[in-house]
Amino acid sequence: MTRSLNKVMIIGNLGRDPEMRYTPSGKPVTTFSVATSRTWVTSDGERREATEWFNVVAWNNLAEICNQFLRKGSRVYVEGHLQTRNWEDDNGCRHYRTELVANEMLILDQRNHSQRQESSFVEDDEAPDLPF
Protein backbone atom coordinates (compact mmCIF):
# COMPACT_ATOMS: atom_id res chain seq x y z
CA MET A 1 0.00 0.00 0.00
CA THR A 2 1.29 3.45 -0.90
CA ARG A 3 1.27 6.13 1.76
CA SER A 4 0.46 9.76 1.20
CA LEU A 5 0.43 12.91 3.28
CA ASN A 6 -1.71 16.05 3.29
CA LYS A 7 -0.69 18.20 6.25
CA VAL A 8 -0.43 21.97 6.38
CA MET A 9 0.94 24.19 9.16
CA ILE A 10 0.80 27.98 8.93
CA ILE A 11 1.50 30.95 11.18
CA GLY A 12 0.00 34.25 10.19
CA ASN A 13 -2.55 36.96 10.84
CA LEU A 14 -6.30 36.94 10.22
CA GLY A 15 -7.29 39.15 7.31
CA ARG A 16 -10.91 39.48 8.43
CA ASP A 17 -13.12 38.59 11.38
CA PRO A 18 -14.22 34.94 11.42
CA GLU A 19 -17.68 34.15 10.04
CA MET A 20 -19.67 31.35 11.67
CA ARG A 21 -22.74 29.62 10.30
CA TYR A 22 -24.51 26.31 10.84
CA THR A 23 -25.09 23.51 8.35
CA PRO A 24 -28.67 22.30 7.82
CA SER A 25 -27.89 19.46 10.26
CA GLY A 26 -26.79 21.97 12.92
CA LYS A 27 -22.99 21.59 12.74
CA PRO A 28 -21.11 24.87 13.36
CA VAL A 29 -18.57 25.92 10.71
CA THR A 30 -16.35 29.00 10.86
CA THR A 31 -14.36 30.47 7.99
CA PHE A 32 -11.59 33.07 8.03
CA SER A 33 -8.53 34.05 6.02
CA VAL A 34 -4.91 34.00 7.21
CA ALA A 35 -2.04 35.88 5.60
CA THR A 36 1.47 34.46 5.76
CA SER A 37 4.51 36.41 4.61
CA ARG A 38 7.97 35.39 3.54
CA THR A 39 10.99 37.55 2.80
CA TRP A 40 14.12 36.90 0.80
CA VAL A 41 17.05 38.76 -0.67
CA THR A 42 17.55 38.68 -4.44
CA SER A 43 20.92 38.06 -6.06
CA ASP A 44 21.16 41.86 -6.47
CA GLY A 45 20.84 42.31 -2.70
CA GLU A 46 17.29 43.63 -2.90
CA ARG A 47 14.96 42.57 -0.10
CA ARG A 48 11.60 41.20 -1.29
CA GLU A 49 8.44 40.13 0.51
CA ALA A 50 5.48 38.06 -0.65
CA THR A 51 2.20 37.36 1.10
CA GLU A 52 0.16 34.19 0.64
CA TRP A 53 -3.50 34.04 1.72
CA PHE A 54 -5.12 30.88 3.07
CA ASN A 55 -8.87 30.29 3.34
CA VAL A 56 -9.38 28.40 6.62
CA VAL A 57 -12.40 26.32 7.61
CA ALA A 58 -12.98 25.05 11.17
CA TRP A 59 -15.77 22.70 12.25
CA ASN A 60 -17.63 21.82 15.46
CA ASN A 61 -16.05 22.91 18.78
CA LEU A 62 -13.03 24.42 17.03
CA ALA A 63 -15.39 26.51 14.86
CA GLU A 64 -17.08 27.95 17.95
CA ILE A 65 -13.75 28.74 19.63
CA CYS A 66 -12.35 30.42 16.51
CA ASN A 67 -15.48 32.53 16.17
CA GLN A 68 -15.42 33.53 19.83
CA PHE A 69 -11.72 34.34 20.32
CA LEU A 70 -10.26 35.33 16.94
CA ARG A 71 -10.53 38.74 15.32
CA LYS A 72 -9.07 40.50 12.29
CA GLY A 73 -5.32 40.86 12.91
CA SER A 74 -5.11 37.96 15.39
CA ARG A 75 -1.86 36.00 15.10
CA VAL A 76 -2.49 32.24 14.92
CA TYR A 77 -0.92 28.88 14.23
CA VAL A 78 -3.29 26.65 12.25
CA GLU A 79 -2.74 23.01 11.38
CA GLY A 80 -4.87 20.84 9.14
CA HIS A 81 -5.15 19.54 5.59
CA LEU A 82 -5.84 21.08 2.18
CA GLN A 83 -9.14 20.36 0.50
CA THR A 84 -10.44 21.64 -2.83
CA ARG A 85 -14.17 22.10 -3.34
CA ASN A 86 -15.84 22.73 -6.67
CA TRP A 87 -19.31 23.89 -7.64
CA GLU A 88 -21.21 25.18 -10.62
CA ASP A 89 -22.85 28.61 -10.48
CA ASP A 90 -26.20 29.61 -12.00
CA ASN A 91 -24.48 30.42 -15.31
CA GLY A 92 -22.94 26.96 -15.58
CA CYS A 93 -19.40 28.13 -14.74
CA ARG A 94 -17.35 25.73 -12.63
CA HIS A 95 -15.55 27.27 -9.62
CA TYR A 96 -12.79 25.80 -7.44
CA ARG A 97 -11.69 26.81 -3.95
CA THR A 98 -8.79 25.31 -2.01
CA GLU A 99 -9.15 25.57 1.76
CA LEU A 100 -7.13 24.65 4.82
CA VAL A 101 -9.46 22.48 6.90
CA ALA A 102 -8.24 23.13 10.45
CA ASN A 103 -7.99 20.46 13.10
CA GLU A 104 -5.71 22.38 15.48
CA MET A 105 -5.38 26.07 16.30
CA LEU A 106 -3.04 27.97 18.60
CA ILE A 107 -3.67 31.62 19.47
CA LEU A 108 -0.33 33.41 19.42
CA ASP A 109 -1.54 36.86 20.48
CA GLN A 110 -0.81 38.15 23.93
CA ARG A 111 -4.08 38.51 25.82
CA ASN A 112 -2.78 41.47 27.77
CA HIS A 113 -0.16 43.86 26.38
CA SER A 114 1.34 44.56 29.81
CA GLN A 115 1.62 40.90 30.82
CA ARG A 116 2.59 37.96 28.64
CA GLN A 117 0.02 35.17 28.88
CA GLU A 118 0.26 31.56 27.81
CA SER A 119 -1.29 30.81 24.41
CA SER A 120 -4.15 28.39 24.01
CA PHE A 121 -4.02 25.20 21.99
CA VAL A 122 -7.18 23.53 20.79
CA GLU A 123 -7.72 20.37 18.77
CA ASP A 124 -10.87 19.78 16.73
CA ASP A 125 -11.99 16.75 18.75
CA GLU A 126 -11.42 18.34 22.17
CA ALA A 127 -14.30 19.71 24.20
CA PRO A 128 -12.67 21.86 26.89
CA ASP A 129 -14.69 23.80 29.46
CA LEU A 130 -12.54 26.85 28.73
CA PRO A 131 -10.28 27.31 25.72
CA PHE A 132 -7.48 28.85 27.82
Q: Which CATH architecture has domain 8-123?
A: Beta Barrel (2.40)
For 21-71, the pLDDT digits (tens) are 999 999 999 999 999 999 999 999 999 999 999 999 999 999 999 999 999
Give 109's pLDDT tier (boundaries 50, 70, 90).
confident
Q: How many residues does the chain have?
A: 132
Confidence band of 128 (pLDDT split at 50, 70, 90): very low
Q: Specify whether the CB–CB gap between 128 and 60 falls below 8 A.
A: no
Buried b (16+ CB within 10 A) or exposed e, 41-68: eeeeeeeeeeeeebebbbbebbbbbbbe
Amino acid at 95: H
Domain ranges of the chain: 8-123
Confidence class of residue 125 from pLDDT cuts 50, 70 and 90?
low
